[in-house]
Amino acid sequence: MGRKRRTFTDKFKAKVAVEAIKGIKTLNELASEYQVHPNQISDWKKQLLSNAPDLFASGKKKQAKTEEELTAPLYEEIGRLKMDVKWLEKKL
């Protein structure tokens, strides 16, 4: 039987990736300190560097998505209620 997979928190990943970016210690030193494979640290470092511009992006994009996500179910409910009203008008 193999070992169970370990899961790491986002805070831990960010901490290790930032230390790797600083370059004070080598990947092998960080790997032995945090008990993580060096390839995993380099992957986290790449992810942090590729997603860094999104951290400082304005929140307008996120607000637009959430606004659409909020209004879509409401419009669906309005449609259902209109159908119910039409059905009731026919039955009366």
Q: In this model, does residue 31 exceed pLDDT 80?
A: yes
What total number of domains does the chain contain? 1
Average of pLDDT values for 47-76?
79
**Structure-token match 């409910």, residue found:** 77
Asked whether residue 5 is assigned to any structural domain, the reply reads: no
| Predicted confidence band of residue 61 (pLDDT cuts 50, 70, 90) | low
Enclosing domain of residue 22? 10-54+65-91
CA 46 to chain CA centroid, nearest Å: 16
3-state DSSP of 11-77: HHHHHHHHHHHHCCCCHHHHHHHHCCCHHHHHHHHHHHHHHHHHHCCCCHHHHHHHHHHHHHHHHHH
Quote the pTM value. Answer: 0.59
CA distance 22 to 43: 15
| Predicted confidence band of residue 80 (pLDDT cuts 50, 70, 90) | very high
State the average pLDDT for the chain: 88
Q: Which amino acid is at 7?
A: T
CA distance 89 to 86: 5
